C-alpha cells in the first residue's frame, strides 16, 4: 500500500514489531495487526468563494474493529499524508484497548490549511468529504471526532450531512459535537484533563507532591495544551513555559493561564504576548521544569532534544511527539524521566467521546461532574495497569502501554476467529 513508505507509518510498525516480539505475540495475529483493515483515498472538489473549483486530497483509514466500531478523529492539515493517518489509526486501536473501550481504531484527514479558508469553504469541504464517506461511517460502523484543525462545528456539519443523506437525525455518527445536538459535557476539555490525571498518578508513583513548587512546561497551547494548563494551575502548579505556532514564552513566576487564553482568543495566537519572554520551541521542551507536556504536533522530540530534557515526567499530549531515535534516548534515561506515552496520556479525548456515544445511544445525558469522575477513574485504572505491566516485564513505558492494548485486541481476535 501507499502508506508503507511513509516514515510515520514505518515508526508505528516498528513500535508494533518491538511490542509483538516482547510479548511473543502469535505471528498470524501479528501479521493481521500490522496492517489496517481498509484505507480510503478521496478527491474532494469544492467551489471556492471566488468561483474556482479546487480539489483536495482526503483520507480515512480503518485499522481494526474487532472490539467494536472504528473510532478516530478527522484532521485538517496542509501536510497530512495517508501514511500519517494510517499510523494514527493503528495507535487509536491500541489507545481504545488500553482504556478498555469497546471500540477500534480509525483516523481521517484532509490535506488543507484551514486557517487559509473561509467558514463557507470549510463547510463545503466537510459536507463533500462526509458525502463521499457516507457508506463507511455510522454509529455502529465508524465514529469520527475532532482532531487537529477541526472542532465541534466541523462535527456538526458531518452529523447534519450524514443525517440529511439518511433521512433522519443521527447524532451518534460523530462525537465532539455541540451540546445542542447531543454533544457531551466535558468533551472539549477531556484530552487535556486526561493528561493531567495521568501526571497525578505518575507523581504518586514517584512520591512527588504537585503544588506551588512544581514547574510545568507545555509545548502547544491549543485545545489539549491549554486545558492541561488550566488543570495544572488549579492543582497549584506553576506553568512557566508555553508555546504555540508563534513561538515559545517563559515566565518563571508562572503564567496566568486564563489571561493567556483571553489573549489568544482576541489575537488568534500568542504572538506579541508580553507576559512572558520569547524563547524557542526547543527551549520549552528542554526547560528546567518538573513536568513537560508536548501537546503540539508529532516528531518534536528527536535524539538531541531527548538528551537535553530536564524534566522528571514527560506526558505526551500530542500523537507521536517522539521520534524513534528520541525513544532510544528516553529508554536509556528511564531512571531519570518517566514517560507517559501518547496512547495513554492523551486517551482522555476518546474516553469522553465514548461517554458521548453511550449517552447518545441511551438518550440519557450525564452531568459534567459525573463525566470528570468517570474519566479520572478510567485514566487512573489504565495508568495502574500500564505501570504493573512495565514492572512485570521490565520494559519501556511505551512498550508496556502498547502491550496492554495489543494483548486485549489479540484476545478478542482469537475469540472471534478468522472469517471465512
Catalytic residues: 107
**Separation of alpha carbons 82 and 57, rounded Å:** 9
What value does the CA radius of gyration of the chain take, rounded to a whole number of Å?
A: 21
CA-based nearest residue to 143, from 126, 125, 162: 162
Q: How far is CA 19 from CA 22, 27, 363, 394, 412, in A?
A: 5, 12, 40, 13, 18
**Separation of alpha carbons 112 and 122, rounded Å:** 9
Q: What share of the chain is helix, strand, coil (3-state, %, to 5)?
A: 50, 20, 35
Tell the residue number behind the cell numbers 489568544, with chain if given. 264
The H or E element spanning position 239 is strand 238-244
Give 272's Cβ-side CA count (13 Å radius).
Answer: 6
CA-based nearest residue to 389, from 408, 376, 412: 408
**Separation of alpha carbons 10 and 244, rounded Å:** 28
The x, y and z cell numbers of residue 78, run together, are 496542509
CA-based nearest residue to 19, from 415, 405, 416: 405
The x, y and z cell numbers of residue 242, run together, are 508555553
Q: How far is CA 232 from CA 15, 96, 254, 338, 409, in A?
A: 30, 25, 11, 18, 33
**Separation of alpha carbons 72 and 89, rounded Å:** 7
Tell which phi-psi region holds residue 394, choosing left (phi > 0), alpha (psi between -120 and 50) or beta. Answer: left
Give 242's Cβ-side CA count (13 Å radius).
Answer: 32
Helical axes 7-22 vs 82-98, angle rounded to 10°:
30
User: What's phi and psi for 233, nearest 5 deg?
Assistant: -60, -40
* Residues listed for the chain: 420
The DSSP code for 312 is S
Amino acid at each position: 500500500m501507499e502508506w508503507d513508505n511513509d516514515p510515520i507509518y514505518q515508526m508505528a510498525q516498528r513500535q508494533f514489531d518491538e511490542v509483538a516480539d516482547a510479548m511473543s505475540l502469535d505471528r498470524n495475529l501479528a501479521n493481521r495487526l500490522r496492517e489496517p483493515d481498509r484505507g480510503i483515498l478521496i478527491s474532494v472538489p469544492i467551489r471556492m468563494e471566488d468561483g474556482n473549483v479546487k480539489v483536495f486530497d482526503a483520507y480515512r483509514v480503518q485499522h481494526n474493529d474487532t472490539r467494536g466500531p472504528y473510532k478516530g478523529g478527522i484532521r485538517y492539515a496542509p501536510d497530512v499524508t495517508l501514511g500519517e493517518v494510517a499510523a494514527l489509526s493503528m495507535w487509536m486501536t491500541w489507545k481504545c484497548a488500553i482504556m478498555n473501550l469497546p471500540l477500534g481504531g480509525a483516523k481521517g484527514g484532509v490535506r488543507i490549511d484551514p486557517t487559509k479558508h473561509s467558514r463557507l469553504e470549510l463547510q463545503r469541504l466537510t459536507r463533500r468529504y462526509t458525502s463521499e464517506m457516507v457508506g463507511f461511517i455510522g454509529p455502529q460502523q465508524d465514529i469520527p471526532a475532532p482532531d487537529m484543525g477541526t472542532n465541534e462545528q466541523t462535527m456538526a456539519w458531518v452529523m447534519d450531512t450524514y443525517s440529511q443523506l439518511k433521512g433522519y437525525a443521527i447524532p451518534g455518527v460523530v462525537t465532539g459535537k455541540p451540546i445542542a445536538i447531543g454533544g457531551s459535557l466535558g468533551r472539549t476539555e477531556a484530552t487535556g484533563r486526561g493528561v493531567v490525571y495521568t501526571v497525578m498518578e505518575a507523581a504518586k508513583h514517584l512520591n512527588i507532591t504537585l503544588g506551588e513548587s512544581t514547574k510545568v512546561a507545555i509545548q502547544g497551547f491549543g485545545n489539549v495544551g491549554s486545558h492541561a494548563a488550566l488543570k495544572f494551575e488549579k492543582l497549584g502548579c506553576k506553568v512557566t513555559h508555553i508555546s504555540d505556532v508563534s513561538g515559545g514564552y517563559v515566565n518563571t513566576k508562572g503564567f496566568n493561564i486564563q489571561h493567556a487564553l483571553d489573549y489568544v482568543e482576541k489575537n488568534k495566537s500568542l504572538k506579541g504576548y508580553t507576559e512572558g519572554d520569547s524563547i524557542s520551541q526547543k527551549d520549552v521542551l528542554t526547560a528546567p521544569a518538573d513536568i513537560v507536556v508536548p501537546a503540539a504536533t508529532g516528531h518534536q522530540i528527536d535524539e538531541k532534544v531527548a538528551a537535553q530534557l530536564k524534566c522528571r515526567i514527560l506526558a505526551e499530549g500530542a500523537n507521536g511527539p517522539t521520534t524513534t531515535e528520541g525513544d532510544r534516548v528516553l529508554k536509556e534515561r528511564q531512571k531519570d524521566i518517566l514517560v507517559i506515552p501518547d496512547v495513554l496520556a492523551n486517551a482522555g479525548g476518546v474516553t469522553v467521546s465514548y461517554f458521548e456515544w453511550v449517552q447518545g445511544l441511551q438518550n440519557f445525558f450525564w452531568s459534567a461532574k459525573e463525566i470528570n469522575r468517570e474519566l479520572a477513574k478510567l485514566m487512573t485504572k489504565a495508568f495502574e495497569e500500564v505501570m504493573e505491566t512495565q514492572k512485570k516485564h521490565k520494559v519501556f513505558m511505551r512498550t508496556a502501554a502498547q502491550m496492554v492494548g495489543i494483548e486485549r485486541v489479540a484476545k478478542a481476535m482469537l475469540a472471534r476467529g478468522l472469517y471465512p
